[in-house]
Structure 1
Amino acid sequence: MLEVAFAVPGDIESPTGGYAYARKLLELLPDQGVTPRLTELPGSFPHPTAADLDCTARTLLALPPGTVLLADGLAYGALPRDLVAMVQNPVVALVHHPLGLESGIGARRKAELLASEAAALDLARRVIATSGATARCLAAEFGVRPETIAVAEPGVEPVVRARGTGNPVQLLAIGAVSPRKAYDVLVKALSGLAPLDWRLTIAGSLERDLEAARSLERLVASEGLGDRISLAGAVGDGALDALYDRADILVSASLFEGYGMVLAEAMARGVALVASTGGAA
């Protein structure tokens, strides 16, 4: 069987779409004649410290000969070209969305990430994109040859149709609190609908970007919506299923999505969508 070292930064059990995708790959690859081995990288990516880059270099340079390196884009796009060039193993990059297109980063860091990701992708033998939109973006804006790109969309498992609530209307937004998710835009929009009877639950980590989380908490309070909007933080699968089941509408103001897994999950459950159209959404 083909041996693959799947390099993933941080805690693969984290409740995000990207990590769920990684877990599913580890589960399903053996059925395709591939033996995957999780290779853990520091959790500071995509903004690694010098010490974490040294640690990553030692990890990647120690891979057994003949093993394919499947590198999650959350780390791969932030690796210096010189580090990637030292890796002797064949490299396959998994890209959910380009790191430099993330919102809320400064202009200098944005430019650094765009440059490092383009350089790293140039050294990859193959690239896996999680949507056709991301594949087209990589070809058009990062110079990746289309014939080297494969698209592997996440898909969804069969699920029971959500029952909803109806009164008050239950709105649900899912995703770690970060500038890209544009929860501030959502809250400001909903403040104009205060005369209507609705409740919003935002389910997603409050620890990914502490500044964005605190800013969102202040905004909810200043708009007088503390009794209407609940910040649930990261939730497990069971709690998320319960939130979906009582949801009437899934709302997403995200500025960019590489695929938009929560949108597909909501559709699978028959939950109505109100969403922006950033990226692949």
Structure 2
Amino acid sequence: MTPGGAAPAGERTVHVVLPGGVDDPAAPSGGNTYDRRVCQGLPAAGWRVRPHALPGAWPRPGAADRAELARRLAELPDGAVVLLDGLVGCGVPEVLEPEAARLRLGILVHLPLADETGLEPGPAAELDARERRALHAAGAVVTTSAWAAGRITAHHQLPPARVHVARPGTDPAPLAPGTDAGTALLCVAALTPRKGHRRLLDALATVADRPWHCTFVGGPGGDSAYVTQLRSKVSEMGLDGRVRFAGPRTGAELAAHYAAADLLVLASYAETYGMVVTEALARGTPVLATAVDGVPEALGRAPDGTPPGLLVPSGEPAALSGALRDWLTDRALRHRLREAAHGRRAMLERWEMTSHSLAEALERLRHEPRSGR
């Protein structure tokens, strides 16, 4: 990754430690997009960015990958400001702790490690304990939503002054035209268990008597067996031809999918924010999502207080099915949600605000005493 733009006079330097593959177009993710955008945006906020992309099986790296991270940190000068992506930093407190008094360490948490769906209790508890040590070693923790900041502060018993929020931004986008029938459904999410595709398919099957088609945009996330299971489930349910797997898409191809959608659907089990929610709203497209974690924060409300979408309880499959049926059968509801989405669109923060918020957190980290952590 190369940071964009030249920093203005009086610049500061931040070393950003990223997981390898952050620029891989075959593996797009919200976390990777966020990392790229803030690296590109920080120079305009007065920070020179020095990226360090480290391949490895993060957050559980092998000995060689752990040693490489330790080597990179040891080479930095005393007092250097370092921002580590949480996927890299949260699982290796034994690497961070020896450097905590020498460097000004910050950790950017996209998703708490133990929140990944499918972890057994033992490994989840181990990752959680390691994350707690790592976050306590850091002088600053940056989260992507107010919900995440509150949860991490309370769960890991962190000093609130060290925890900061830098919400993901959006880019301006043309309004999606939409259709009167509202039958074009879109799910943009990596094909992993946490994103809830299986329960979305169950819900779609309950409205098979209605006209609709749904496109799944997203890569396998390292679990090709899960993708095979999803494809088999589609066939078993008789939804071939109605559910399409488009694979990972970025840039103009992804924008085309958003432009063609009437409704974004997201059935996740955990989301610290939900960048795809605001990406849909940037086009005036309503959202149907499970009301988990930071998703309500991302959805927000229109200026008149109307929600630009439908939120359903995560633990109630019938609620997801019912909301889909309501959308497909109630023309007045579709109109109301579209109007609210258009209103919310004008309120969305841009990526410049994200970089500004992160720059403020880095500035506080730069001036924090290095002793006492």
The more displaced of 41-50 and 155-164 is 41-50
2:349 — aligned with what? none
Question: What is the 5 A alignment of 1:263-274?
Answer: 263-274=277-288
2:78 to 36, 59, 65: 65
Question: What is the 5 A alignment of 1:1-281?
Answer: 1-14=11-24, 15-79=28-92, 81-87=93-99, 88-166=102-180, 169-281=183-295
| 168 and 280 in structure 1: CA distance in 2 versus 1, 3 angstrom threshold | closer
Q: What is the aligned-residue RMSD (CA, Å)?
A: 1.5
- Separation in 2 of the partners of 1:99 and 1:20? 19
SS in 1 for 2:149: helix
- Separation in 2 of the partners of 1:103 and 1:5? 30
- Separation in 1 of the partners of 2:219 and 2:185? 18
Structure 1 segments (4+ residues) deviating >3 Å? 165-168
| 95 and 207 in structure 1: CA distance in 2 versus 1, 3 angstrom threshold | closer
Q: Which runs of 5+ in 2 are unaligned?
A: 1-10, 296-373
| 214 and 55 in structure 1: CA distance in 2 versus 1, 3 angstrom threshold | farther
Aligned-pair distance for 1:170?
0.9
Aligned-pair distance for 1:166?
4.7
User: Is contact 1:139–1:146 with CA below 8 Å preserved after alignment?
Assistant: yes
Aligned-pair distance for 1:60?
2.3
Aligned-pair distance for 1:225?
1.2
SS in 2 for 1:46: coil
One-letter amino acid of the structure 2 residue matched with residue 91 of structure 1: L
SS in 1 for 2:83: strand
- Separation in 1 of the partners of 2:248 and 2:271? 19
One-letter amino acid of the structure 2 residue matched with residue 127 of structure 1: V
User: Is contact 1:176–1:208 with CA below 8 Å preserved after alignment?
Assistant: no
- Separation in 2 of the partners of 1:20 and 1:207? 15
Q: Which runs of 5+ in 1 are unaligned?
A: none
- Separation in 2 of the partners of 1:273 and 1:167? 16
Aligned-pair distance for 1:207?
4.2
SS in 2 for 1:187: helix
Larger radius of gyration: 2
Aligned-pair distance for 1:51?
2.6
The more displaced of 188-197 and 163-172 is 163-172
User: Is contact 1:100–1:113 with CA below 8 Å preserved after alignment?
Assistant: yes
Higher relative CO (Cα under 8 Å, sequence separation at least 6) belongs to 2
- Separation in 2 of the partners of 1:266 and 1:183? 18
- Separation in 2 of the partners of 1:181 and 1:107? 19
The more displaced of 141-150 and 208-217 is 208-217
Q: Deviations over 1:128-159 (max 9, x none)?
A: 11100000011111112111111111121111
| 10 and 60 in structure 1: CA distance in 2 versus 1, 3 angstrom threshold | same
User: Is contact 1:61–1:86 with CA below 8 Å preserved after alignment?
Assistant: no
User: Is contact 2:56–2:62 with CA below 8 Å preserved after alignment?
Assistant: no
Taking only the aligned residue pairs, the percentage that are identical comes to: 36
Q: Deviations over 1:208-249 (max 9, x none)?
A: 322322221221122121211111111121111000011001
One-letter amino acid of the structure 2 residue matched with residue 72 of structure 1: D
Q: Deviations over 1:73-120 (max 9, x none)?
A: 1111111x2211122311011111211111112222111111111110
| 209 and 60 in structure 1: CA distance in 2 versus 1, 3 angstrom threshold | farther
Q: Deviations over 1:251-275 (max 9, x none)?
A: 0000111111000111111111110
One-letter amino acid of the structure 2 residue matched with residue 4 of structure 1: V
- Separation in 2 of the partners of 1:241 and 1:135? 30
- Separation in 2 of the partners of 1:47 and 1:106? 15
Q: Deviations over 1:58-84 (max 9, x none)?
A: 2222223332110001111111x2211
One-letter amino acid of the structure 1 residue matched with residue 280 of structure 2: A
- Separation in 1 of the partners of 2:155 and 2:16? 26
